[in-house]
Amino acid sequence: MQWQDEGIVLGARRHGETSVILELMTHARGRHAGLLRGGRSLRMQPILQAGNSVAAVWNGRIEGQLGQYRVEGLVSRAGRYLDSPLALNGLGLLIELLRLLPEHDPHPALYEASLVLLEHLEEPEIAPVLLVRFELAILSVLGFALELTECAVTGSTQELIYVSPRTGRAVSRRAGESYRDRLLRLPAFLRDSGDGQGFMAGAGHPGREAVQAGFALTGHFLARNLFNPREKPLPDARMRFLALIQ
């Protein structure tokens, strides 16, 4: 069988003397790996840098086998990131989040969101907001969506400023006042973006404290639901990114 698609380079690891195993996040087929012969050549190495976009043709006998890629470069971004620690660590975090997705599981909305994020990774006023929304979206598509539209106690949709660390549901100011020290803060820019899919809606910087609260919120549920069960810590790139935005 054969298919062709566009993809974002997630990584390429050495295979033999001249080839690589190329991992892409594709638009229509999700995260997908394949053998790329000649991938270690001087011509191909700049194309296969993480964060670049490529046009890919995959060939294999059946879908489940490794198969082989042929690729051509579409958009080169990696060079832009070299002088930006913020962009490099943001890219590292994005890749680790995408690798949480099952292989061959299509997520075109996440693919499009990744493209938006890649174009803004160097911008300190925008990248953190988009990344924390992306984390919220990853939780949602993997079955751990947070319920941020109404209060878990009263059903109210007003003044939702907390989230229960146990249930992932929003709590209003009045309902959560007596035990607020045990609740996570819900910043308005996440509450208004629903499940995180509205990536560019109000993408301006909401303030450092709000962004930090957003990362604290998503980090709690990422660790509990996705990384801890895999016996892995939250990505180092995430810690470095958070240190940079502070």
Q: Per-residue pLDDT tens for 205-224?
A: 789 999 999 999 999 999 99
Q: Give the per-residue pLDDT at 198.
A: 55
Give me the pLDDT at residue 154, please.
95
Confidence (pLDDT) at 66:
87
Tokens coding 96 = 């680790």
Report yes or no: 192 and 132 within 8 Å, Cβ to Cβ. no
Residues in a beta bridge with 7: 26, 54
CB-count burial class (<10 Å; 0-12, 13-18, 19+) for 1: exposed
Joined tokens for residue 34: 């394949």
Query: Quick check: 162 and 186 in contact, CB under 8 A?
Result: yes
Contact, 187 vs 211, CB < 8 A?
Answer: yes
Q: What is the pLDDT of residue 62?
A: 80
Q: What is the pLDDT of residue 55?
A: 98
Question: Cα(239)–Cα(237) distance, rounded to whole angstroms?
Answer: 5
pTM (predicted TM-score): 0.93
Specify the pLDDT at position 193: 61
pLDDT in tens, the chain (246 residues): 999 999 999 999 999 999 999 999 999 999 999 999 999 999 999 999 999 999 999 998 887 778 999 999 999 999 999 999 999 999 999 999 999 999 999 999 999 999 999 999 999 999 999 999 999 999 999 999 999 999 999 999 999 999 999 999 999 999 999 999 999 999 999 986 655 455 555 555 789 999 999 999 999 999 999 999 999 999 999 999 999 998
Q: Which amino acid appears at position 172 of this protein?
A: S
Q: Would you call 68 exposed, middle or buried from its count of C-beta atoms within 10 A (0-12, 13-18, 19+)? A: middle
Spatial separation of the C-alpha atoms in residues 156 and 170, rounded to whole Å: 10
Phi, psi of 116 (to 5 degrees): -60, -45
